[in-house]
Amino acid sequence: MKYAVSLLYALALLQVTYAQQTPASKESFIPENWTLIQETSGDLNKDSLNDVAMIVEYAGDALEGERPRSLIILFQEKATQNYTLAATADHVILDAQSGGTMGDPLDKFEIKAGVLRIDFAGGSREQWTTTHRYRYTNNSYFRLIGATYKVTDGPQTKTYDYNVSNGNVIVTTRDSRNKANNTTVNLKKPVMPINVSEFEPDAIWALLMPDYPKQVVTCVLKDAGSGDCFHLEFDCGDFGNAKLFLDEASTKLWHSLATSNANDETIVNPAYKGKTFEITYITNQGVRCEPQGEDTYQLVIGFKQVP
């Protein structure tokens, strides 16, 4: 989905509200030119109050036939029964055109036992379902804790069940015509905690599925710097706006590629300049740095130094 129309740019008023922590009605958090598609309520932060999650859709001109959808999460305030903004996310809700011949893919949307669950379904001959689960953490943000993808093609169903919190993945194959083809495989795919505001589901599916379209490149680190936007230059391109879906060690290595000089200016780390790295990624379009505008950026799902 292209997000030239972003909820983040419609939320100027909401970000002021969030900064001031001034409770308001839930309707006031729906920006102009956006409409409410669905909402659900329940206790998300263990204070016994009725919090709200809303799915909103852009109501202006459709972009290439698509109307972006976004997620808004609100906490209820005890004193006023009104709400404050807890989180927004531009990329976690599929648009109405993403379900294929099955139509609008949005299925289940609920808060239960402190977990926000969002289900989608779609396809034609090959049918699929996805489920994402989010939980509020003690670090005061919502993180992805679970992701399930199921695809059925004729008699065969394949399911990827990903416990993102601990990195455990169970891949099951079930064949209704030939049980000899049934398999269960346990994998380990640890990633750093994923904030709902930064989450893009394509990164998870690319991480799990061997045949998911992605690029693997071997690149030499050339430079790093910041002006209006951060830049991390390899000989294969600029990865300054990349989103990382990596384990702890790979994330630490990535962040070590840039450092600061005596003037507190961002520069390339001399220890890694000219070194070669393998980067596995997929690309998306959107606004990652406002002065730069809409541009291509990477979802990095693999990163390592090579000889």
Q: Average model confidence (pLDDT) for the chain? A: 90
Read off the pLDDT band of 1 (50, 70, 90): very low
69 & 167 share domain: yes
Whether the per-residue pLDDT at 15 is higher than 50: the answer is: no
Please report the pLDDT score of residue 136 as a whole number.
97
Calculate mean pLDDT across residues 240-256. Answer: 97
Q: How many domains does the chain have?
A: 2
Give the residue numbers spanning the domain of 32: 7-208
Specify the higher pLDDT residue, 146 or 102.
Answer: 146
Q: Is residue 267 part of a domain?
A: yes
Single residue among 159, 174, 208 that ends a domain in this structure = 208
Q: Is residue 1 part of a domain?
A: no
With DSSP H G I counted as helix, E B as strand and the rest as coil, what are the percentages for the chain, rounded to 5?
A: 15, 50, 35
C-alpha 250/C-alpha 254 separation (Å) is: 6
Q: What is the CATH number of the domain that holds 224?
A: 2.40.50
Mind listing the pLDDT tens digit for each residue in 25-81?
Answer: 999 999 989 999 999 999 999 999 999 999 999 998 776 667 899 999 999 999 999
- 270 with 260: CB under 8 angstroms? no
Whether the per-residue pLDDT at 16 is higher than 70: the answer is: no
Read off the pLDDT band of 181 (50, 70, 90): very high
Whether the per-residue pLDDT at 210 is higher than 80: the answer is: yes
Please report the pLDDT score of residue 294 as a whole number.
84
Residue with tokens 């419609």: 10
